[in-house]
Structure 1
């Protein structure tokens, strides 16, 4: 049996402004993406948040209060997965936690192990360079955008550095010639053993885990993770081999000492922002798992 304790009941005049404020925050965050999508105009930086990550804009706009809250008169949640509507109120369906217990436990294990592992700040974003290493013209993912140093210059950067990518979902996009150059060989089954809090992709993925835990995740936490992912993605592509100056993104030239220092400083800042969000997600998992008795 699964039970959420300490139920808080919100009347419509209490929860409807919260839902409206959430939708407005989402609209502000994704307005540019929606406008470009309407024009069928791809964007190599921000599209990632809606192509790599599975949550659609309309899903992001739905406000979720989180565990332990009942919403009076919230008929809009009736019939939605993860909710039940009874006695004039909507609340999270406790049985959904039981159905998703294995997934919640895996996410909690990954997040907690990442918290406990020392952060590393010496990768310099070389994963993006390894993703285009020795590719032929027409094979590059963002082929509309030129490589700052050209193909040969990009290859030389890869070959002159030690690559230490610890994130499986970045490593799996390495080109075949670049994979043996990585000091680690991450795999899905070793993800909890390798992921660390300095990694840009591990910190972007907090948005993925917050989304996967929906509708249990309070929407404020989902959007805090989304905003972090959006900011990290910007650094990720500024430090990439692509020249995106036409879009207003100044490069972080990680092939130089100054660029490396700029990247590592930004990476430390993102790690500092990510840690409390990761803690909140671990606490959410603990609350959900504690409700199973």
Structure 2
């Protein structure tokens, strides 16, 4: 198959250059403060997560891609792109190399979407990550805990832990793991992941960038924007006192705080659903493209 036969959409120069510029301006707005902090050696317990836990580098996030099969008229060949019919498009062989990963991501997204949202965890995963640790031992030890270590442990023991997300569970302290109702593993991820989980919804950004450059960058940035908002709730509901950073606590140790958390969790699940559906649809489309 030639590159030309892989074309599913054609974009004129004015269209794709405008999309690229809009993408770069959006991403630059997010990156400015992060890059300034990184240059000055300043850590941020909320926003750094999107650039440290997630492996997509700032320069990768900033680079615009139209997705597989899109011909950019008057575009010039560059990394991952090949010439075709007066322009360039993504090298069709990229999909063949990544088909197995695309299929795994698609199946995980679909399985997650098929389940009802569970809204009873109340963000206890962050508490389980500091359970029975001293202030010096906790991950963000530059920031104080809202409660004493003993009181923090008491909240964990009284409320219990119902985390379904392996990549949160693996950061639990050793004594916290047996307290979790579930025992997530990488193998159980497709079985346990559910759409009410904050981390599963933040991870839409991870699946989007892992599918990049095969999916449009606009979808990647939409997932990033949602992940950025969810991370704020994640840390506001944590045991850390981040009021000085402008993040008042969601006090999940109280009935009012738990109700607030569940309401916001439900809203994020609703907003994540169309992004998860869009990623799934892109995976389905990619998997039906003819092999080069």
How many pairs are equivalent? 290
In terms of mean alpha carbon deviation, does 133-142 or 249-258 score higher? 133-142
Range with bigger deviation, 43-52 or 95-104 = 95-104
Matched ranges for 1:168-187 at <5 A: 168-187=166-185
- The answer as to whether partners of 2:102 and 2:283 remain within 8 angstroms in 1 is yes
Counting only pairs closer than 5 Å after superposition, residues 74-93 of structure 1 correspond to structure 2 as 74-75=75-76, 78-81=77-80, 83-93=81-91
Matched residue SS, 2:89: strand
In the alignment, structure 1 segments of 5+ residues that lack a partner are none
Distance 2:8 2:176 in 1: 53
- CA deviation after TM superposition for structure 1 residue 117, in Å: 0.6
1:101 aligned residue (99, 102, 118): 99
Shift of 1:79: 3.8
Q: Specify every segment of 5 or more residues in structure 2 that has no aligned partner in the other structure, as ranges.
A: none
When normalised by structure 1's length, the TM-score is: 0.95
Aligned counterpart in structure 2 of residue 273 of structure 1, from 254, 268, 271: 271
Cα deviations by residue, 1:9-58 (Å, 9 ceiling, x for unpaired): 22322211110111001112232212222222110000000001111111
The answer to whether the 8 Å contact 1:171/1:179 transfers is yes
Distance 1:284 1:206 in 2: 13
What is the CA deviation profile of residues 188-221 of structure 1, one whole-angstrom value per residue up to 9, with x for unaligned ones?
Answer: 0110000000000000000000000000111111
User: Per-residue deviation at 1:148?
Assistant: 0.0
User: What is the aligned partner in structure 2 of residue 166 from structure 1?
Assistant: 164
Residue 44 of structure 1 corresponds to which residue in structure 2?
45
Equivalent residue, structure 2, for 1:218: 216
Higher mean alpha-carbon deviation, 89-98 vs 49-58, is at 89-98
Q: 282, 285, 292: which is aligned to 1:284?
A: 282
TM-score w.r.t. the length of structure 2 is: 0.96
Q: Where has structure 1 moved over 6 Å in runs of 4 or more?
A: 1-4
The aligned residue for residue 67 of structure 1 is 68
Alpha-carbon offset, residue 67 of structure 1: 2.5
Q: Is the 8 A contact 1:98 1:292 kept in 2?
A: no
Q: What is aligned with 1:58?
A: 59
